[in-house]
Structure 1
Amino acid sequence: MTDVQETTARGLTSAQVRERVAEGRTNDVPRRSSRSAGEIVRANILTRFNALIGSLFVLVLIFGEWQDGLFGGIIIANSAIGVVQELRAKRTLDRLAVVGETPVRVVRDGDEREVSQREVVLGDLIALGTGDRIAVDGPVAASRGLEVDESLLTGEADPVHKAPGDLVQSGSFVTAGSGSFTAEKVGREAYAARLVEEASQFTLSRSELMSGINAFLKYVTWLIVPTAVLLFASQLSSAGGVGDAVVGAVAGVVTMVPEGLVLMTSIAFAVGVVRLGRRRCLVQELPAIEGLARVDVLCCDKTGTLTEPGMDLDDVVDLGRDLPGRDALAALAAADQDPNATMRAVQEGFGTPDPGWTMTGSVPFSSARKWSGASFGGHGSWVFGAADVLLGTGDPSRAEAERLGASGLRVLALARVPDGSFDAPEKLDVTASAEPAALVVLRQRLREEAAETLRYFAEQDVTVKVISGDNPASVGAIARTLGLPGADHPVDARTLPADPAEMGAVLEGNSVFGRVGPQQKRAMVKALQAKGHTVAMTGDGVNDVLALKDADLGVSMGSGSGATRAVAQIVLLDNSFATLPHVVGEGRRVLGNIERVANLFLTKTVYSIILAVLVGLVHVRFPFLPRHLTLISTLTIGVPAFFLALAPNLERARSGFVPRVLRFAVPAGIACGVATFAAYWLASESAATGFEEDSATASLALFLVALWVLALIARPWNWWRLGLVGVMGAAFVVTLGVPSLRDFFALHPDNLYNDAVGLAIALAAALLLSAALRWVPFLAHRNR
């Protein structure tokens, strides 16, 4: 007899559990909500850019002065900030992953108790109910109408009935019924070990944003080697020595590397995850941040999203057909050992005592059938479910149910069906055979924050679609109460066309849909995506899982089933619909600010290439020492980028990241490069000046144009953005005004005529750039 076979209906004993724990036969799989600390340190230090900049830093230390190696501090800053931010994000994700983990109900010593997934041991008897996620693998021990969705494993969406002895696997979830199974494969042997690791990985996976940044970096890498060779050759003939040639070539090449772009992107993503974590929002993968910013349609369920998960029993309307409806309802409530929210409301609010009927058979509730049922020996068979499913169109009680439902109440029907109906429930025509006995009226609890949240989305041009399995009139009444546009004409999803294009047209023209089945939710998401929309889907029930999987962004409530939390990219642990505006706002902040930062860094790359090519072709000494460009880059890019990357930003993300950035960065870079070279060339033509004075003139011209580029990127202007630009300008003036700083950075603007010419050239370049960005149609996308 194996360990697994020893399990009885009483489960393992405490002694057996301790024995298995001591032997290591537990489900203790290492949690992978992020990279390990060692991986984080290695990933942030051992990078291609650190290797490149480090090599250039060593060359400057060998051939130049240490002041010209200040750019080497970028390695320390990039690595330190990246490590610190990701470690903070790791701690937040690890902590939230523990909070958001679905507990498992095990039977031990004859008692049912909840334990964490990591505390399950080999041979545990695990209880299952509707919505439960299966955490380990094993055979079914008991089944009471147990149906399992294995779509995460097989791709087949139809629930599978499980009888005793059938295998259930981790990664699937219960859609109907209840039962138990024995843990036969735990830990690394279970399928869940791989599923959880993949689902909760903290990584920057492929996205339009990261693909665009990688494209920029790839092109720059290709240009660095030929540019370095060209610069070294030209500097060797013009600078007078190998040392000066190396320093000049390094100065030209190091500014081509947008070393801070990846850093700022990672920081913005990581800070976004941490900020959302503080709002009890678990981001399971970083690309979800980008998806947040692009959402323009939000599909949400009514139950658990617009309304509180629980309900209150409002009334039981006896239909006067001489049927023991109240006794039957009390018997159904007493017999349900795993009640859903509806039956729980009946149990809590119904005053009729249990008649003591003995249940001889049952059919669990499923979202496909929209009813459940039970047989009670000589008291008949009863069904309980949606009124418009159980009641015929000509039944007067259906009209009463629709009248009540139109006021926002949820109305269910109780009816008797012929004995033997449950032998083949899938073939039962319940509408034709049901004999109505009572209407059960439930009052749903509206979320206090729902109306304000819907107003926020309307202001942000995000269209909200309420997709519910409930009666359309009832859903529409609740949506009207909350002020949702288009709620006056709810649509019965059973009338939707099957063709995706036609369905998409109906979806775009309406806001409220009732009687939506699980497969329809999935089809509706795909139809909206086919219309070019970026769709977010919220849900908390097992009937939402398929739609959550297919949506561009899946959002689950923390109180939802384990299955929904497993497939969603974002989990709202506090179950608050009001968190969603913060979620969307954080995504827009991150993506919009990364685009601003990309404009800054790519502008520097373009003007570095322009300067390097012009210097190489004309064969003059490179106008800057590395320390000059370190100062200018710090004041016009590095420091401002940090603040801009973390600033508020509610602009909805648009596609076309790469061409949009290039349409700004290329003309801005050309303006900076040409103006700088022109000022340097004119200054060097004067026999009365030397390299230090000429370099100071070039530095002044480059700083002024780059500062104006920063001002353009900082739009729309407000007090702190203008203040940021002003402080950077003041810092440069202080550097020129303090003798020790002036000497340290080798800036000596002693020729007033050349400096005035450089100033004039910079002003002209700034004006031409502004005019081009405003009036040239191809570039005017930046005009705000």
Structure 2
Amino acid sequence: MTRTDKIDMFPGLSADEVAQRVAAGKVNALPDRSGRTVGEIVRANVFTRINAILGLLFVIVAVTGSFKNGLFALILVANSGIGIFQEIRAKKTLDALAIVGQTRPIVRRDGVAADLAPDQVVLDDIIEIGSGDQVVVDGEVVTAAALEVDESLLTGEADPIHKQPGDQILSGSFVVAGSGAYRATKVGADAYAAQLAAEASKFTLVSSELRAGIDKILKVITWLLIPAGVLTIVNQLFISDNGLKRALLGMVAALVPMVPEGLVLMTTIAFAVGVVRLGARKCLVNELPAIEGLARVNVVCADKTGTLTENGMRLGEVRAVDGSGADFADVLAALAAHDPRPNASVAAIGEAYPDAPDWSTTAIAPFTSAKKWSGMSFADAGGCRGNWLLGAPDVLLDPDTDIARTATQIGETGLRVLLLGATDVPVDTDVPAGPAGVVPGTLIPRALVVLEQRVRPDARETLEYFADQNVSVKVISGDNARSVGAVAASLGLGSVDTSVDARTLPDDQDALADVVEDGVTFGRVRPDQKRAMVKALQSRGDTVAMTGDGVNDVLALKDADIGVAMGSGSSASRSVAQIVLLDNKFATLPYVVGEGRRVIGNIERVSNLFLTKTVYAVLLAIFIGVGGVVGWMFDVDSISYPFQPIHMTISNWFTIGVPAFVLSLAPNNERARTGFVRRVLSQAVPNGIIIGLCTFVTFLIVNPGGMGPQLGAEDSVDLTPDQTQAATATLLTLIAVAWYVLAVVARPYNWWKIVLLAVSAGAYVLIFLVPWSQDMFLLDVSDPQKLAVGAVSAAVGICCVEVVQRVLAARAAPGPQVPTTHSDALL
């Protein structure tokens, strides 16, 4: 039965029938591909725990009437506004890319087959499927030609299931062989795997050490805030000699810097900007943490076809091997013309022989990666045209025959070789279970079909990049092992002689891991072996990325730490991958790695700044609180918090706020490492302690007599001149040491980092010296003696920070050097 006959029998719905179903809501409504809606993004960025805390503190400041001390509330607006803008920008990018990269089923309507978006499918639509297609809705098979479906993503069943008309077919499964059509019986939320219809990768969400680490840090900070906050409140409201309003301002000034208000924001921005940058390179990120995950990868398993070589091939020659000198053009043309879903090899044959004879098929055996051959039986009115097979010579032939040796010699030049053979029985005749290559009847070799493959021009540069970054590349292919080795060797990767034939791989996982760790190129790899090889590498502690484009790559893509699919690949491979290269360029992968490294490295730097601030704020609050309690117990002068909220606001502007934003978006190609929380805390805690101690000591020296209220102004918010001078000197110490922490975090230096540090320092010089800013920010630099104390304390603190940094650097294991050439090229 021809395809036209099938369409005539099942022409699909009419336009009126489709309209009726749409009106009734019987449409395959899908969840938003790119995650949260605009409303959800706005709510998530506005109604946060941090905004609630800062909002409450602003209300307290507003009660005192000192609105200039409430400038920190601008952080709420900035956090929410920037976060909303960046997330919506990233969402729009993902929406646009998702439309390009989504599975588009072929639907028959009014006797015409056309591809539609998945959310345009309605109940009772007739949907065509072939090898590599993902099933988008539940249905009932109406036509089948050797149709085999893999349901392992749904049921865990490893073996493909043969489907015949009348059988049920489930959304989320995919076709591994054959072709057919099915009628949609359940759509949208009613489908068996509706949550997979748009994104099958939700079965295995990528873990994010970065996000998990930040969550862990925020939990620790929450526990620190409780005792420090309680102590501050008790000291300011009940123990200090300040009036109520000034006590409230002191309390707010102590609590505001404890909140790491920008840490989550900077993480969101870094991920969102990464999505936009990769979107500009036609890279669809199905799961945001995949950007981070790929930066941690140390092994990339790549397919040869479509990765190192271009998808398209060209027929080189057809070499008869049966001694007849016959022309097999008609046979090859018929095989290509009657293949409902031709792969790249058959498509190349079809391009070379476009004029197919008018033959009809009596049997079809589709190609599968397991058996390595396909076949058709032809007949016409006059009699049998024969039974023909097209497959891998080294699988179908005895390796000791002259034909097999000839095929191997041709393959060692990097060409793809297929064997055209004939059998004495129909190709769909059942064969006993056995190894790949078992064929029905007796195989008679007739010709070798030689196909030319073009190596991607950017493949060598990409492989060199990964070599420089100490990332191992394993080429895993279903093609002849020596042919794979030849292509890889032409790019400087491995050699023909070291290429491993997967048919010789051991079944034991430990032994397999040894071979895979040592090997570079692998040929004749079955789909189940690809999956086993990924698991073997992971068992040795490797973080594995798998690239692929075919249905035979699906299981390995799903099990890898990061699955990367080509945009032109099968819908099944795109659905399970976390990253889809819509431009089909392997060379895009280094840019994804670079974005991941930028995100991880920059967030680590930014986290150091925010957590340093939290540590010194908590420590300073504890020191002041304990001092106040001790003074109250022994009836001596109490110690009040030295700063007003506006002091802490300006201290953050150019030591954390602006620099953190710049650093979070800056180029960074440092290799990702595990241990994010440990490294951040090992620097932030000692630096925070140093700043807190130096600030407290400065305050004790410049104002040892406490901070009582101005006579007759118990309910005033204004400081006396001595109090303002003491606060200014103390603030000088805090800002100077915090600025040096920024300078340490910004290493290694380049021109823009030096400019950033200079601008930050210059801004504080102006704030402290310009009369208008002195009045605005409650500063007084008229007492040189107090300022000298602050400067000396700052110098001591800076020396301590540098000593800590050098000790930490000496203890850290030396990491691999990153070549500047590739870093510059990436950025």
TM-score range, shorter chain: over 0.9
Instruction: Measure, in 2, the Cα distance between the counterparts of 1:419 and 1:491.
Output: 34
The answer on 1:439 being equivalent to 2:483 is no
Deviation at 1:426, TM superposition (A): 5.2
Deviation at 1:782, TM superposition (A): 9.9
Pair 574,776 (structure 1): closer, same or farther in 2 beyond 3 Å: closer
1:304–1:540 CA contact under 8 A, matched in 2:
yes
Instruction: Measure, in 1, the Cα distance between the counterparts of 2:447 and 2:556.
Output: 34
Deviation at 1:663, TM superposition (A): 0.7
Question: C-alpha offsets along residues 169-196 of structure 1, whole Å, 9 cap, x if unaligned?
Answer: 1111111111111112122222353214
Deviation at 1:323, TM superposition (A): 8.7
Say which is worse superposed, 734-743 or 417-426, in terms of deviation.
417-426
Aligned to 2:287: 285
Instruction: Measure, in 2, the Cα distance between the counterparts of 1:188 and 1:657.
Output: 40
Matches within 5 A, 1:115-514: 115-196=116-197, 199=200, 207-235=208-236, 236-322=238-324, 326=328, 327-350=330-353, 354-377=356-379, 378-420=384-426, 422-425=428-431, 427=433, 429-430=438-439, 433-485=442-494, 489-514=498-523
2:420–2:448 CA contact under 8 A, matched in 1:
yes
One of 584, 589, 613 as aligned partner of 1:604: 613
One of 558, 567, 570 as aligned partner of 1:549: 558
Pair 52,766 (structure 1): closer, same or farther in 2 beyond 3 Å: same
Question: C-alpha offsets along residues 533-579 of structure 1, whole Å, 9 cap, x if unaligned?
Answer: 11111110000000110111111111111101111111111111121
Letter in 2 for 1:763: A
Letter in 2 for 1:314: G
Question: C-alpha offsets along residues 627-649 of structure 1, whole Å, 9 cap, x if unaligned?
Answer: 11110111100100000000011
Pair 386,361 (structure 1): closer, same or farther in 2 beyond 3 Å: same
Instruction: Measure, in 2, the Cα distance between the counterparts of 1:709 and 1:436.
Output: 74
Instruction: Measure, in 1, the Cα distance between the counterparts of 2:812 and 2:551.
Output: 48
Pair 583,777 (structure 1): closer, same or farther in 2 beyond 3 Å: closer
Question: C-alpha offsets along residues 412-432 of structure 1, whole Å, 9 cap, x if unaligned?
Answer: 111122315632145473399
SS at match of 2:366: strand
Say which is worse superposed, 328-337 or 460-469, in terms of deviation.
328-337
SS at match of 2:360: coil
2:198–2:575 CA contact under 8 A, matched in 1:
no
Aligned to 1:665: 684
Instruction: Measure, in 1, the Cα distance between the counterparts of 2:398 and 2:362.
Output: 27
Instruction: Measure, in 2, the Cα distance between the counterparts of 1:187 and 1:203.
Output: 21
Question: C-alpha offsets along residues 43-95 of structure 1, whole Å, 9 cap, x if unaligned?
Answer: 11111111111111111221361111111111111111111111111111111
Deviation at 1:253, TM superposition (A): 1.4
Deviation at 1:730, TM superposition (A): 0.2
Instruction: Measure, in 2, the Cα distance between the counterparts of 1:43 and 1:201.
Output: 21
* 5+ residue gaps, structure 1: 1-5
Say which is worse superposed, 431-440 or 320-329, in terms of deviation.
320-329
Instruction: Measure, in 2, the Cα distance between the counterparts of 1:775 and 1:226.
Output: 31
Aligned to 1:656: 675
- Output the TM-score relative to the length of structure 1: 0.95
SS at match of 1:141: strand
Pair 642,485 (structure 1): closer, same or farther in 2 beyond 3 Å: farther
Pair 321,71 (structure 1): closer, same or farther in 2 beyond 3 Å: same
Pair 663,457 (structure 1): closer, same or farther in 2 beyond 3 Å: same
SS at match of 1:183: strand
Instruction: Measure, in 2, the Cα distance between the counterparts of 1:285 and 1:251.
Output: 39
SS at match of 1:455: helix
- Output the TM-score relative to the length of structure 2: 0.90
Instruction: Measure, in 2, the Cα distance between the counterparts of 1:725 and 1:345.
Output: 59
Instruction: Measure, in 1, the Cα distance between the counterparts of 2:796 and 2:199.
Output: 54
SS at match of 1:690: helix
Letter in 2 for 1:107: R
Aligned to 2:569: 560
Q: How many matched pairs?
A: 778
Matches within 5 A, 1:710-729: 710-729=742-761
Aligned to 2:68: 67
Deviation at 1:485, TM superposition (A): 4.8
Matches within 5 A, 1:87-126: 87-126=88-127
Letter in 2 for 1:518: P
Pair 78,446 (structure 1): closer, same or farther in 2 beyond 3 Å: same
Pair 358,267 (structure 1): closer, same or farther in 2 beyond 3 Å: same
SS at match of 2:313: strand
Instruction: Measure, in 2, the Cα distance between the counterparts of 1:68 and 1:344.
Output: 72
Instruction: Measure, in 1, the Cα distance between the counterparts of 2:621 and 2:811.
Output: 25
SS at match of 1:414: strand
SS at match of 2:60: helix
Residue identity over aligned pairs, in percent, reads 53
Alignment RMSD, CA only? 2.3
Pair 330,163 (structure 1): closer, same or farther in 2 beyond 3 Å: same
Instruction: Measure, in 2, the Cα distance between the counterparts of 1:198 and 1:375.
Output: 39
SS at match of 1:774: helix
Letter in 2 for 1:142: T
Deviation at 1:508, TM superposition (A): 1.8
Instruction: Measure, in 1, the Cα distance between the counterparts of 2:424 and 2:155.
Output: 37
1:358–1:376 CA contact under 8 A, matched in 2:
yes
Instruction: Measure, in 2, the Cα distance between the counterparts of 1:100 and 1:630.
Output: 46
Matches within 5 A, 1:683-762: 683-685=702-704, 690-762=722-794
Say which is worse superposed, 200-209 or 486-495, in terms of deviation.
200-209
2:482–2:496 CA contact under 8 A, matched in 1:
no
Letter in 2 for 1:444: Q
Deviation at 1:342, TM superposition (A): 1.0
Aligned to 2:801: 769
Deviation at 1:225, TM superposition (A): 2.6
Instruction: Measure, in 1, the Cα distance between the counterparts of 2:420 and 2:111.
Output: 35
Pair 202,527 (structure 1): closer, same or farther in 2 beyond 3 Å: closer
Letter in 2 for 1:757: V
Letter in 1 for 2:337: A
1:255–1:604 CA contact under 8 A, matched in 2:
yes
Pair 627,331 (structure 1): closer, same or farther in 2 beyond 3 Å: same
Say which is worse superposed, 162-171 or 758-767, in terms of deviation.
758-767
Question: C-alpha offsets along residues 254-292 of structure 1, whole Å, 9 cap, x if unaligned?
Answer: 111111000000010111111111111111111112112
Aligned to 2:713: none
Deviation at 1:203, TM superposition (A): 14
Instruction: Measure, in 2, the Cα distance between the counterparts of 1:16 and 1:237.
Output: 79
Instruction: Measure, in 1, the Cα distance between the counterparts of 2:221 and 2:474.
Output: 44
Instruction: Measure, in 2, the Cα distance between the counterparts of 1:63 and 1:586.
Output: 46
Deviation at 1:241, TM superposition (A): 2.1
Instruction: Measure, in 2, the Cα distance between the counterparts of 1:487 and 1:643.
Output: 48
Pair 764,704 (structure 1): closer, same or farther in 2 beyond 3 Å: same
The answer on 1:637 being equivalent to 2:646 is no
Letter in 2 for 1:455: E
Question: C-alpha offsets along residues 25-60 of structure 1, whole Å, 9 cap, x if unaligned?
Answer: 222435342211111111111111111111111112
SS at match of 2:564: strand
Aligned to 2:709: none
Instruction: Measure, in 2, the Cα distance between the counterparts of 1:402 and 1:538.
Output: 26
Instruction: Measure, in 2, the Cα distance between the counterparts of 1:606 and 1:202.
Output: 39
Aligned to 1:3: none
1:487–1:511 CA contact under 8 A, matched in 2:
no
Deviation at 1:501, TM superposition (A): 2.0
Aligned to 2:3: none
Question: C-alpha offsets along residues 126-157 of structure 1, whole Å, 9 cap, x if unaligned?
Answer: 11111111111111111110111111111122
Instruction: Measure, in 2, the Cα distance between the counterparts of 1:116 and 1:607.
Output: 55
